[in-house]
Structure 1
Amino acid sequence: MRVQRLADVDAGEYAHLMQRSAADVQHILPQVQTIMTAVRERGDAAIREFSARFDGVALQDLRVSAEERAAARQQVSPEFLESLQRARQNLERFHREQLPQEQLHELQPGVRTGRLWRPIEKVGLYAPGGKAPYPSTVLMLGVPALVAGCAQRVLCIPPSPDGSVPPAMLAAADLVGIHDIFKIGGAQAIAAMAFGTETVPRVYKLFGPGSIYVVAAKIWAASAGLPLAIDCPPGPSEVLVIADETAPAAFVAADLLSQAEHGEDSAAILLTTSERLAAEVAAAVEAQIPPLPTAARVRASLERYGRILVLEDLDACVRFSNDYAPEHLEIMTADPWAVSSQIVNAGSVFLGYYSPVTMGDYLSGTNHVIPTGGYARMFSPLSVDEFVKKLEVQELTFDGLQSLQQSLRALTAAEGFAAHQHAVDIRFG
């Protein structure tokens, strides 16, 4: 990895680091629009056509059958199922703490207001396949939807060339009670859930990470005039580590590599106040790469979006981190909690020497569907909040309404809404 003092980084390179591989979907929108429109107009037939073209598979049944779901549990090891169950338990504990409390308050005598919450009835979940199966992502999407109480949870998973879906992902879906599962990937999966087809139900909100085509499809669907919402547009994985001279170089290097292996467009950055640590981490990275089966991908990622930067103090590290707004932020310093108190822009924060991002990806209970590409400035990690909606409620008594009648008169007159005022006045004869 390249080691630099931040003071030596010019404006162009600084902008490149900040931008990382932020997906520019504009150049693929015409192709995505063609796919979305075809699925909207021709339904299942268009999905089969695109699955043959993009996934190389001729699908007969788009839906995963009950027999396939049952067989999946027999095709994975007991050890895997046990680990999956433990991950699910921690996720459920963490997400149950997020359930909102209903609020009712008497603002003044005779005027009671409040806010209630209800689950979104129909949600669409997309779990990518691509380079590898991601059963963990099925859990990350499925658990908060389950905890929130969403009545219909539709899951799309890209099919393998033989038309099957990875058993590990089906086992994860079974563990969170998802039964509406479809062998559809890419933009056509998003279109199917957004518009509905003969086989795939239409949903009210879409969730989940995916390729640039999936991201573009979600953005397009949300602007297509439908009553449809999407979560934060996801992008390539990223990690930023703030470390001082107390951090073990081998730990820092391993954590940088763990995110770089996601893909050639992933970002991994170390900010440190120690030139000694910077050199040691660079050496440790070189030593740890060769045994990795993903070594080529890791090297490409680090060459494009990896960097070790030396800064004058921890305050400077915090300023850079807040500008960068990383998906994952690790803080390996003598007092990580003190540093974390200054962090305002980050998705998920990992404190101390024994809190690697890997655990957040799988088992610690936090969600790994996290804003990337700087979206942590205004978005939060996936949570129960995303799967519920809030309803306002108010109740006024005769005396409560009367106490506000005259104040209302000036407001309705200013806006020229006589019927609004009449709706109140008529209640008093």
Structure 2
Amino acid sequence: MQPTFHDLTNSADLPSALFERTEADLSFFIEKVKPIIEAVRVEGDSALKRFARDFDRVEVEDMSILAQEEEYDDAFARLDPAVVESIRYAAENIRAFHEAQKPEDIWYKEIRPGVFVGDRYTPLDSIACYVPRGKGSFPSMLLMAAIPAVVAGVLRPIVITPPGPDGKVDDATLVAARLVGIKEVYKCGGAQGIAAVAYGTQTVPKCLKVVGPGSPWVVAAKRQLSDIIDPGTPAGPSETVIIADETISGELAALDLIIESEHGPDSSAYLVTNSRRVAEEAIAALPKLWANIDPKRVEFSQAVLCGKHGGIVLTKDFDTACEFVNRYAPEHLQILAEEPMAVVPKIRNASELLLGNYTPSTLGNFVLGPNAVLPTGGAAMTKGPLSVFDYMKQASIAYVTRDGYQEVADHAHRIALYEGFSGHAQAVSPIRHEILKKAKKS
């Protein structure tokens, strides 16, 4: 199959079709998830078990929805120790990044004499981390979703994930959960899993918020339930843009373009370059690189790169390539350029910037530390990566001393009267001093 090639060197505008995502129209999924959500709301665990049988092809009569301690033990016993060590390595980096990111519990500063203002951060009471499984198993997503929750101090962080063909949670996911301190992993995914944490069931606790990427079914359920549970940052099918200047090897660009495209046929992946040589080298290299990877992943990658949501884009100049990035607002952006740091100021909209020849998405997805749960569907124009701030709430703090009071009171009194709030004005009038004098005498 030939990669899709968009030659825009003679085009005055960037075609709007290039900026469409597979998740753009969720109307089909919205209608389909409604009965699933209602069934979970009414039936609870019974619905979860039925949907596991119908959707996940798992016989569920004896299945415990909550993973048991012995399942964690068995997972450690079965998993290759080298894989355990790599999960531990990744967990250490991700934890270190998020601990550095965590704000002070409380801060304040004196902005005028006797006037102190600041913020206080406290963790959420409960959070559900969604770990997908439809096209594989993703312990890395558990690390990315759960570690910032633990670092933030969430009182009850849980994980929900679809059961595998054996009715169990993937071994590496259970290992990751134990390594980061998650004690509750529930075997429920898809729209039914989102409904379970939104309403609560006999087994699955109701949570305040759910985070993590998922299929269009998951995205649709989050939207449908957004007035019941905080759906977090939009995190749908994977998407990437690689921007390359004329100094880069097209074969290297092709090598990294495959990374996100192999997630699934609903992914999006573009190489955007102003160099015809880079574009042609990438197109020539892809078949050889596909020959080296798993046939199923080749199928996914080709569906993306040879379809209408991916491929090679040749622009008339590098500024137009940067314009493409800013309009697309990708989940992942890899900058392949002679001076990648010089390109950064040109980029306004991207959730993740991976700079240079030695920072492929593979590293960012698994082990570098910054969070790989990123907004998709263009949400990077207004939102950023999952962080400890997603698991905390902010409260403003203000404290005015007796000496600092009168100046701010006078200004507030004038504004209150101007806006017609006489009660506001009265509270900062001389009456306040009279009340305080009486209270002091008594």
Scaled to the shorter chain, the TM-score interval is over 0.9
Check if 1:5 corresponds to 2:7. Answer: yes
The one-letter amino acid paired with 1:234 is: A
Per the normalisation by structure 1, the TM-score is 0.94
The one-letter amino acid paired with 2:148 is: P
1:215-250 Cα distance to aligned partner (Å, 9 max, x none)? 111111112xx3x32211212212211112321222
Residues 400 and 248 from structure 1, CA distance in 2 versus in 1: closer, same or farther, beyond 3 angstroms?
same
State the Cα distance separating 1:10 from its structure 2 match: 8.9
**8 A Cα contact 1:23 1:235, kept in partner:** no
1:161-212 Cα distance to aligned partner (Å, 9 max, x none)? 3311111110111111001110101111111111112211111111011111
Is 316-325 or 76-85 further displaced after alignment? 316-325
Aligned residue-pair number: 425
State the Cα distance separating 1:123 from its structure 2 match: 0.7
Q: Describe the SS at the equivalent of 2:280.
A: helix
Q: Describe the SS at the equivalent of 2:157.
A: strand
**8 A Cα contact 1:219 1:233, kept in partner:** no
Check if 1:243 corresponds to 2:247. Answer: no
Per the normalisation by structure 2, the TM-score is 0.91
Check if 1:284 corresponds to 2:282. Answer: no
For 2:386 and 2:288, the matched residues in 1 are separated by 35
Check if 1:118 corresponds to 2:119. Answer: no
**8 A Cα contact 1:23 1:212, kept in partner:** no
Is 145-154 or 32-41 further displaced after alignment? 32-41
Q: Residue in 2 aligned with 1:35? A: 36
The one-letter amino acid paired with 2:222 is: K
State the Cα distance separating 1:18 from its structure 2 match: 0.8
1:280-335 Cα distance to aligned partner (Å, 9 max, x none)? 11100121113322222221111212222222322221111111111111111111
Q: 2:354 aligns with which of 327, 350, 354?
A: 350
The one-letter amino acid paired with 2:130 is: Y
State the Cα distance separating 1:128 from its structure 2 match: 0.5
For 1:3 and 1:161, the matched residues in 2 are separated by 39
Q: 1:401 aligns with which of 399, 402, 405?
A: 405
**8 A Cα contact 1:125 1:207, kept in partner:** yes
The one-letter amino acid paired with 1:406 is: D
The one-letter amino acid paired with 1:301 is: V
Q: 1:77 aligns with which of 77, 80, 89?
A: 80
**8 A Cα contact 1:239 1:268, kept in partner:** yes
**8 A Cα contact 2:413 2:428, kept in partner:** no
Q: How does 1:70-149 map to 2 (within 5 A)?
A: 70-101=73-104, 102-149=106-153
Q: Residue in 2 aligned with 1:427? A: 432
For 2:360 and 2:323, the matched residues in 1 are separated by 22
Q: Describe the SS at the equivalent of 2:101.
A: coil
Residues 66 and 3 from structure 1, CA distance in 2 versus in 1: closer, same or farther, beyond 3 angstroms?
same
Q: Residue in 1 aligned with 2:304? A: 301
State the Cα distance separating 1:42 from its structure 2 match: 2.3
1:319-353 Cα distance to aligned partner (Å, 9 max, x none)? 11111111111111111110122111111111111
Residues 391 and 335 from structure 1, CA distance in 2 versus in 1: closer, same or farther, beyond 3 angstroms?
same
Is 109-118 or 408-417 further displaced after alignment? 408-417
1:393-426 Cα distance to aligned partner (Å, 9 max, x none)? 1112234333333333333334444433444444
Check if 1:274 corresponds to 2:275. Answer: yes
The one-letter amino acid paired with 1:50 is: F
Q: How does 1:218-229 map to 2 (within 5 A)?
A: 218-223=222-227, 226=228, 228-229=229-230
For 1:403 and 1:350, the matched residues in 2 are separated by 49
Q: Residue in 1 aligned with 2:176? A: 172
**8 A Cα contact 2:234 2:377, kept in partner:** no
**8 A Cα contact 2:413 2:424, kept in partner:** no
Query: What are the ranges of 5 or more consecutive residues in structure 2 without an aligned counterpart?
Result: 435-442
The one-letter amino acid paired with 1:374 is: G
State the Cα distance separating 1:20 from its structure 2 match: 3.1
**8 A Cα contact 2:273 2:321, kept in partner:** yes
1:101-155 Cα distance to aligned partner (Å, 9 max, x none)? 3321222223211111111121111000112110110101111111111121110
**8 A Cα contact 1:3 1:279, kept in partner:** no
For 2:21 and 2:188, the matched residues in 1 are separated by 29
The one-letter amino acid paired with 1:363 is: V
For 2:343 and 2:225, the matched residues in 1 are separated by 40
The one-letter amino acid paired with 2:72 is: R
Q: Residue in 1 aligned with 2:220? A: 216
Check if 1:326 corresponds to 2:330. Answer: yes
Q: What root-mean-square deviation, in Å, do the aligned CA atoms of Structure 1 and Structure 2 show?
A: 1.9
State the Cα distance separating 1:90 from its structure 2 match: 1.0
For 1:10 and 1:237, the matched residues in 2 are separated by 29
**8 A Cα contact 1:186 1:211, kept in partner:** yes
Check if 1:188 corresponds to 2:192. Answer: yes
Query: What are the ranges of 5 or more consecutive residues in structure 1 without an aligned counterpart?
Result: none
Check if 1:24 corresponds to 2:16. Answer: no
Q: 1:61 aligns with which of 45, 64, 74?
A: 64
The one-letter amino acid paired with 2:280 is: A
Q: Residue in 2 aligned with 1:391? A: 395
Q: Residue in 1 aligned with 2:438? A: none
Residues 74 and 396 from structure 1, CA distance in 2 versus in 1: closer, same or farther, beyond 3 angstroms?
same
Q: Residue in 1 aligned with 2:437? A: none
State the Cα distance separating 1:5 from its structure 2 match: 2.3
For 2:408 and 2:272, the matched residues in 1 are separated by 58
The one-letter amino acid paired with 1:174 is: R
Is 212-221 or 294-303 further displaced after alignment? 294-303
For 1:84 and 1:357, the matched residues in 2 are separated by 17
For 1:69 and 1:423, the matched residues in 2 are separated by 60
For 1:266 and 1:220, the matched residues in 2 are separated by 22
State the Cα distance separating 1:8 from its structure 2 match: 4.9
Check if 1:339 corresponds to 2:343. Answer: yes
For 2:10 and 2:40, the matched residues in 1 are separated by 51
